[in-house]
Amino acid sequence: MMALYDSVCLQLSRVITTRYSTSFSMGIRMLDHSIRPHIFAIYGFVRLADEIVDTFHDFDKASLLDRFRRETYRAIDEGISTNPVLHAFQGTVNQYQIDLQLIEQFLRSMEMDLYPQNYQREKFEEYILGSAEVVGLMCLKVFCQGDEACYQDLKPGAMRLGAAFQKVNFLRDLKNDKEVLGRIYFPNWTSGGLNAEIKQEIEQEIAEDFDAARQAIQRLPSQAKFGVYSAYVYYKALFLKIRSCQPQILLQKRIRISNGFKILLLILAKMNIKFNRV
């Protein structure tokens, strides 16, 4: 019956992923079936922590996050949890020997989100490392299937891809982050607000992250390449759409990619993989 519980926990992480992020779930479904459940498990863990700091405003978020941290490490240590998301996550962590320092770095970034703040460069880079880059490294551990040489080779690119995704998310969610959550992540943002020059500086940084990441995607193991490249193509399209907007538009609404266009992007990604045009 333990196998049934394991399966149900993994399925719950998949449900969380698909309900919260159509773009990530689309990319994960393009991974080989052997690694797909483990990436869902990582995303389920990340999503739950993110919900604590972003959504549970009527509760003691600091206390909830502290409890979540303790329960996470206990689940990993004991190899089981009555929290289905943490049970699925610990299975992946233990199977692929994911470094606990990556998990701790992620949780520290979640702590930074407990309170409104304007990020300066050092804190911004620390936040990006914990909220995005280490998540990419957790996934890379699964992609490389225990091959340490593969992991070390692709590590810089995985971090740059995670950073690119997170920075695009920041631009997409600018209005909600500023007005609802009281967060201004980009250190380029001055007291004068977001103008065209600052936006261009941010976009140049993101473009460089995407370029560095693409080189690593080309060397990914076959079971991971299509899924990761699909997510890359989607986020690159979202980035280009954001790039075409005036700064004030980003402060008025959340930029989106339609479901129909997502399907077209998926077809494009498949063709590029087939003809080795990644």
Answer yes or no: are the C-beta atoms of 194 and 247 closer than 8 Å.
yes
Question: What residue numbers bound the domain in which 73 lies?
Answer: 2-274
Mean pLDDT of 237-265: 93
Is 124's pLDDT higher than 60? yes
Tokens for 231?
A: 């997510």
Give ∠ CA 110-194-198 in degrees, rounded to 5.
Answer: 95
Q: Can you tell me the mean pLDDT for 91-95?
A: 98
pLDDT at 26: 84
* Inter-residue contact 44 to 12 (CB < 8 Å): yes
Name residue 190's beta-bridge partners: 193
Can you tell me the distance from the alpha carbon of 74 to that of 96, in angstroms, rounded to the nearest whole number?
Answer: 17
Least confident stretch, 181-190, 196-205, 212-221: 181-190
Determine the pLDDT at residue 276.
85
Q: How many domains, the chain?
A: 1
Q: What's the mean per-residue pLDDT of the chain? A: 94
Distance CA 191, CA 91 (A): 46
Which tokens in the block code for residue 139?
A: 């996934």
Section 125-147 average pLDDT: 97
As a whole number of angstroms, the distance between CA 202 and CA 32 comes to 34
Please give the full DSSP string across 107-132, using - where no structure is assigned: HHHHHHTTS-EEPPHHHHHHHHIIII
How far apart, in Å, do the first and last CA atoms of the chain sit? 43
Distance CA 264, CA 261 (A): 5
Q: Is the pLDDT of residue 190 over 90?
A: no
With contact defined as beta carbons under 8 Å apart, do 255 and 245 qualify? yes
Task: Report the amino acid identity of residue 213.
Answer: A
Q: What is the pLDDT of residues 220-247, one digit of tens each?
A: 999 999 999 999 999 999 999 999 999 9
Q: What is the pLDDT of residues 191-214, one digit of tens each?
A: 567 888 889 999 999 999 999 999
The domain that holds 256 is classified in CATH as 1.10.600.10
What is the distance of C-alpha 27 from the center of its chain? 12
**CA atoms of 26 and 150, how far apart (whole Å):** 25
In the numeric block, which tokens belong to residue 215?
Answer: 């080189």
Q: What percent of the chain has pLDDT over 90?
A: 82
- Per-residue model confidence (pLDDT) at position 161: 97
State if pTM tops 0.85: yes
Q: Which residues neighbour 98 within 8 Å (Cβ) at sequence distance 6 or greater?
A: 92, 138, 141
The string of pLDDT tens digits covering residues 23-57 is: 788 889 999 999 999 999 999 999 999 999 999 99
